[in-house]
Amino acid sequence: MKAMMERDSASAALGMVVETDEPGRAVVRMPVRDDMLNGFAITHGGLVFALADTAFAIACNEDERVTVAQGADITFLASTTAGQTLTATAVRRSRAGRSGLYDVTVTDESGTVVAEMRGRSLATDRPRPVIDRADTP
């Protein structure tokens, strides 16, 4: 697993599990808990976006450059609720120079598409953070 995810406490707190971590492709799943629901008892859109964004981040950090999001757009297509499991699959569509374009599909456990996200990435000149192995579980 990438060092980036070893220090991603936000994704860990949401219960995300990385299933696939390949250059230009990632699959991440997340169980929906009661504390992830909005006032209508459906999964909060921000948490669906967080799942998609995590898969996007893994897929676009495919070399030694620190790559960040330039922007992203999401369309919500179906609602989910507690007890369901969401899976985000991110795939590179294009990468040229410092810019990349990635599509992320979020599905529920039955394969129903819950959301589609398109992310735009930018490779930076930032140094990768040093990870203190004593701080990781």
Residue 134, pLDDT above cutoff 80: no
Can you tell me the distance from the alpha carbon of 73 to that of 95, in angstroms, rounded to the nearest whole number? 18
Cα 53 to its chain centre, rounded Å, is 3
Domains delineated in the chain: 3-128 (3.10.129.10)
For the chain, give the percent of residues with pLDDT over 90. 74
Output the pLDDT for position 2: 64
Can you tell me the distance from the alpha carbon of 114 to that of 133, in angstroms, rounded to the nearest whole number? 36
For the chain, give the percent of residues with pLDDT over 70. 90
According to DSSP, the residues that pair with 134 across neighbouring strands are none
Query: Average pLDDT of 55-64?
Result: 89
